[in-house]
Structure 1
Amino acid sequence: MDSESFTMEKKSDVGGIAADRLRSIIERVERLEEERKALSGDIKDIFIEAKSAGFDVKVLRTILKIRKQEPAEVEEQETLLDIYRRALGM
């Protein structure tokens, strides 16, 4: 191995860690976190808009949660909720 290739290897590999690869991973995560922050702000704005239009934001969040679930899971939860309500005389 010549001294130039040793220097290049040493520069990108520190303590057995590929520094360039690590830097790339960290920078990608940082970019995605910034995107997530921007998207969170956009979602917050939509909920503000919904509230000003007279919608109940808590109910909207519940609907969004339900829509992420499988239909069978939703049906099971609704059945249990109904049973629990009847047991409590509600």
Structure 2
Amino acid sequence: MADAEFEGSGQVAADELRLLIERAERLEEEKKGIADDIKDVFGEAKARGYDPKAIKKIMSIRKKKREEYQEEEAILEVYMQALGML
């Protein structure tokens, strides 16, 4: 009886594992599709005369909290002044 329970739980675990793997594979495909869509947006922006690097920088800044961004900018300015770049 214990062997039957073990086999049964092993099958459930295998099914669960298979479902998790299939779900992760579907998400990877969706991620690839989204990455392709983002690449298309940057291509369109470039075709219209925008700088994709600048757009990516703006997106990076927008992800941060205002205080975090201001602190990074202040440190960057100090470093640039120290190197005679400002």
The Cα shift of 1:69 comes to 1.2
Written as runs of structure 1 = structure 2, the 5 A alignment for 1:2-81 is: 6=4, 10=7, 13=10, 18-81=13-76
Instruction: Name the structure where helix makes up a greater proportion of residues.
Output: 2
The alignment's C-alpha RMSD in Å is: 2.0
Greater shift after overlay, 63-72 or 43-52?
63-72
The Cα shift of 1:10 comes to 2.7
Structure 1: 4+ residue segments shifted above 6 A: none
Aligned equivalents of 1:9, 1:87: Cα separation in 2 = 68
Aligned equivalents of 1:74, 1:89: Cα separation in 2 = 22
User: Normalised by the size of structure 2, how large is the TM-score?
Assistant: 0.85
**Contact 1:12/1:20 (CA < 8 Å) preserved in 2?**
no
Aligned equivalents of 2:46, 2:68: Cα separation in 1 = 29
Q: Deviations over 1:24-53 (max 9, x none)?
A: 100110000000000000000000000011
Aligned to 1:82: 77
Query: What amino acid maps onto 1:41 in structure 2?
Result: D
Question: How many residue pairs are counted as aligned between the two chains?
Answer: 83
Instruction: Name the structure where strand makes up a greater proportion of residues.
Output: 1
Aligned equivalents of 1:19, 1:12: Cα separation in 2 = 9
Runs of 5+ consecutive residues of structure 1 not aligned to the other structure: none
Identity %: 49
Runs of 5+ consecutive residues of structure 2 not aligned to the other structure: none
User: Normalised by the size of structure 1, how large is the TM-score?
Assistant: 0.81
Aligned equivalents of 1:35, 1:87: Cα separation in 2 = 46
